[in-house]
Structure 1
């Protein structure tokens, strides 16, 4: 093991965690907004708006159809406008958020659709407002599924950081390409792959644990 390996891995890991945290946060905000909107505006739901539903669905599908590397290139001018640069972890957060949000939105939409329509109808019969139904019925009832959806989204963002790293975003992906592959350093390449695997496993385990914990608490009080 070369003397600089730990320093390189630590820097790459910190940059990856930075991108994953902020990218996941913004992607979740956008994703849950899209997912909730898609559910409540579909035909027969509390805020029925089929035209709006189709428009949002088309936008989501259009962004999802783009390979992430192409999306990054398309968003470079916006990143330069908002951040002042197209390089580095901060600039990559924009692409990570926009790239992951539609994917996460669809998963969240499917999670919310698992909520029994009977519970929504019961809340309406009791005079609950639409906002109350969304935040006190729809989201809480789907919470374990939402946690699992968010876990999948975060893991997807880790994959995106590796791709973004190849075009100047930094992080473990950049480290694997610039030092591991281009400079023929197998110690860097294998170490970055191992770190990414460990990171994914920790996030998956944490998400599963939280979802199980919520289910146990729910069944305990029901």
Structure 2
């Protein structure tokens, strides 16, 4: 039996077939924990991002640093404003909350500095690809921050466009601001018991799976 879930605003389309959960999946040749340990040990001694003061460049805003994190210009930019932010800790399995908080705090500080210098750049995006299998060219944990002048990238712009369509299609949103697209998505997932909320943050398992079966979505309100 097939079940189809379609988001009429974002046009995401997911097909559910219970039998697919029983399909044979080949285990990895190397256990994941062993792979992580070997990779961290092998790369820590010659890591460019650990030796960032000598092996990385800086952009026009200069080097940004705080207790646990620092910035570096991206040599292979995909936008006019594109920089990287990373913790001083090389081993991703040992990262603490405070270290990651410093990384994202620094990235947001950079985004604000870019927008102040160039107000037309007002669409920030933060991306995190981790380890070679996730597309990262460096094992050292790092995130990418960019600002674009016209729109968000790819899927993020699709989400923004979906929220705008929802806004324009619901008079109560336009007049009273009682609900919005993201609240509606959250309410639907809550109805299916697919959410967990904590300290103003809601984690949900998307009904429409965009990238892979292990995807999670975090939703929270940011007061700027």
Output the TM-score relative to the length of structure 1: 0.27
Higher normalized contact order (CA 8 Å, seq sep 6+, divided by chain length): 1
Greater share of helix residues, 1 or 2? 1
